Amino acid sequence: MTRETGRGRGSATPRSVDVARLAGVSQKTVSRVFNDEPYVSADVRRRVLEAAEQLGYRLNNAARALASGRTRSIGVVTLGTALYGPASLLMGVERVVRDTGYALRVVNTMEGDPAGLAGAVDSLLDQGVDGIVISEPIDEEGVDGQSSLRLDVPVLVLGAPSPVTAPTVLTAGDGADLMARTATEHLLALGHVTVHHLAGPQRWYAARDRLKGWRATLADHDREIPPVAEGDWSAGSGYRAGRALAENGDVTAVFAANDDMAIGLIRALTEAGRRVPEDVSVVGFDDIPVAAYVTPPLTTVRQPFDTVAQEGLKRLVHTIENPDAEPLPPSAPPVDLIVRTSTAPPPSRTPPARGRRTASRPRGGTHRPSLPNGGPSPRS
């Protein structure tokens, strides 16, 4: 049986028997060495390693997976966008996965994908994975109702309640509502009577959580809850929402569900002659890399992507390796509000503390961008 897979005379890919022969041990012993099993004498171990090195041997992963029933890989379902949030999360996941000795398989769910999440998970299951990470799932109408996707490997859901049924379902990074509260509180503390919200697409759990946090905060303070504008995360949608908001003279503070929309929003406000932050304060969400350098530097909530990924995966791997043990408890990620210069007390009102700021000028008049003294402060 001549296989294409390089069965040429000397250049064949070596197998563990070859290493065993060269080292003068049994094949099983080679296996022991490569699996770091105990009960191998130091001397034998060294000889095996040398032989392996000499032959250029590497363990065959497929054979290993077949024999052991474990693939040592984790699959992640992403949204297939280069949006800062999802992309950062994915990179965080990769880092941890590799550190824990697993391989990473990646599959997208494009929005509008007919198969959607179910298709993505299925493809992962076909490939063979020991655990699955679902990053920032969106709510897929219809699909949800009929079959709540049932699978038999542990699952970690990032940034949302779980849309699946599995033996173990872990969640992490679902603290968005708390962060939204912090953002809203910040605006309220500056003296704004109420805060408007430019929400993300409500199919995203992440967007819903932020909205929920915002609304709860206003309710807690007995403030009026203004109608919500909904964008699609893009700066363009923020811009369009901003044009509408600019016409409403009552708007003095807006909490945008991400930085891109905040930037579009600010542009629309500025074009309409509403100064930021003198007339209108804006808070973003994410702390994208350019947030500190746009005009004006954006006050925003930094998401702890790395922490979330790390903590979530630690728990997932623990569950994979100790299927019968209690899952590790979750821990709350830190909330990190970065105050820059896109927020200020509302016009012509006495702020709660310190001295008062510029009074408002006629709308649509000449204006210049607010240039903070000393330049932007990239980190806090």
d(C-alpha 195, C-alpha 200), whole Å: 16
3-state SS string for 315-346: HHHHHHHCCCCCCCCCCCCCCEEECCCCCCCC
Q: Considering the complex, what minimum distance in angstroms separates the CB of residue 59 from DNA?
A: 5
Q: Considering the complex, what minimum distance in angstroms separates the CB of residue 263 from its own copies?
A: 5
d(C-alpha 172, C-alpha 45), whole Å: 41
Tell me, residue by residue from 186 to 225, as one string, x for binding to its own copies by CB under 8 A and - for no binding.
Answer: ----------------------------------------
Nearer to DNA, 62 or 189 (CB): 62
CB burial class (10 A; 0-12, 13-18, 19+) of residue 87?
Answer: middle
Angle at 351 (CA atoms; ends 346, 353), nearest 5 degrees: 150
209's tokens: 């959580």
Q: Which of 23, 176, 211, 235 binds its own copies (CB under 8 A)?
A: 235
Q: Considering the complex, what minimum distance in angstroms separates the CB of residue 20 from its own copies?
A: 19
Nearer to DNA, 126 or 326 (CB): 126
* CB neighbourhood size of 43 (10 A): 8
Select from DNA, its own copies, none the partner in contact with residue 193, using the beta carbon and a kind-dependent cut-off of 5 to 8 Å. Answer: none
Region from 175-183, 343-351, 354-362, 370-378 binding its own copies, contact rule CB under 8 A: 370-378
Chain-centre distance for alpha carbon 124: 19
Select from DNA, its own copies, none the partner in contact with residue 235, using the beta carbon and a kind-dependent cut-off of 5 to 8 Å. Answer: its own copies
380's tokens: 């806090």
Tell me, residue by residue from 23 to 62, as one string, x for binding to DNA by CB under 7 A and - for no binding.
Answer: --xxxxx-xx-xx---xxx-xxx-----------x-xx--
Select from its own copies, DNA, none the partner in contact with residue 171, using the beta carbon and a kind-dependent cut-off of 5 to 8 Å. Answer: none
Place of tokens 């759990």: 205
310's tokens: 């790390």
Count of helix runs (H) and strand runs (E) in the chain: 12, 11
Binding site for its own copies (CB under 8 A): 3-6, 58-63, 65-66, 69, 71, 73, 78, 80-82, 84, 87-88, 90-91, 94-95, 98, 103-108, 110, 123, 125-128, 152, 234-236, 238-239, 259-260, 263-264, 267-268, 270-271, 288-290, 292-295, 323, 366-369, 371, 375-376, 378
